Amino acid sequence: MHLYYPDLFSTLLRRHLHPAAMSLGLPNHGWSDACIDVYEKIECIGAGTYGQVFLASHRDTGEKVALKKIRSLNEIQGLPVTTIREIKVLKAIKHRNVVGLREVIVTNELDMGDLDDDPDADIPAAGGGPVPMDFSCGCIYLVLEYVDHDLTGLLDRQYPFTDVEIKSIMMQLMDVMKYMHATDVIHRDIKCSNLLLTPQHLLKVADFGLARSTLGELPFTNK
């Protein structure tokens, strides 16, 4: 389900987007150009209800990032409410065990190059059919810190965690949960696939799309 909040878009994105991102003025589309081309997509590493996640690298610095591409961006459907939540939360909290949000980039161009990678995309009919709704007004990219592994993948491969490593991961998880709760944020979707690990076993909590504030300051819900 996609929700559209006309006043919310301009307020939220004006306050929370990186300066390099666009000022989103739905429904007038008064966007300036944001250059996603500074990132080179390497491969698709995940897909979900609202879009895809790509491993990418910055063309100038070589830094690896995770590009989370959100499918719908138009005045009818608007942004998924989970995306609004995730941007707001990641801009508000900073912790070594929370995946970092580098920037948010909005484009107003149809990204046809990704249609072949997206099994759920509706490719226009031959001879010039209508542009798919999900790509009709552009895309929004969350540029996130790239972390090598998630706990689900490691467990599926039967990675031989030592007792010390298990204790370290649990201590990090308890520490970041304590921090989030102290800042009145409840993640609400803690599971192995959302617990990322670096090769040094540094834990990173990801995917804040279902997060809520205990103070009621994140009143965005599909319910």
Outline where DSSP puts E strands in 108-187.
139-145, 149-150, 185-186
Asked if omega into 19 is within 30° of 0 (cis), the reply is no
Residue 94 labelled as part of a binding site: no
Round to whole Å and give the CA distance between 100 and 96.
8
Q: Which of 111, 122, 175, 189 is catalytic?
A: 189
Residue 135 to residue 44: CA distance in whole angstroms: 18
In degrees, rounded to 5, the angle at the alpha carbon of residue 159 between the alpha carbons of residues 153 and 165 is 105
Residue 101 CA to residue 66 CA, distance in Å, equals: 10
Q: Give the containing element (helix H, strand E) for 163.
A: helix 163-182
For this structure, is 189 an active site residue?
Answer: yes
- What SS3 state is found at 149? strand
Residues within the annotated binding site?
Answer: 68
Residues within the annotated binding site for ATP?
Answer: 68
Catalytic residues: 189
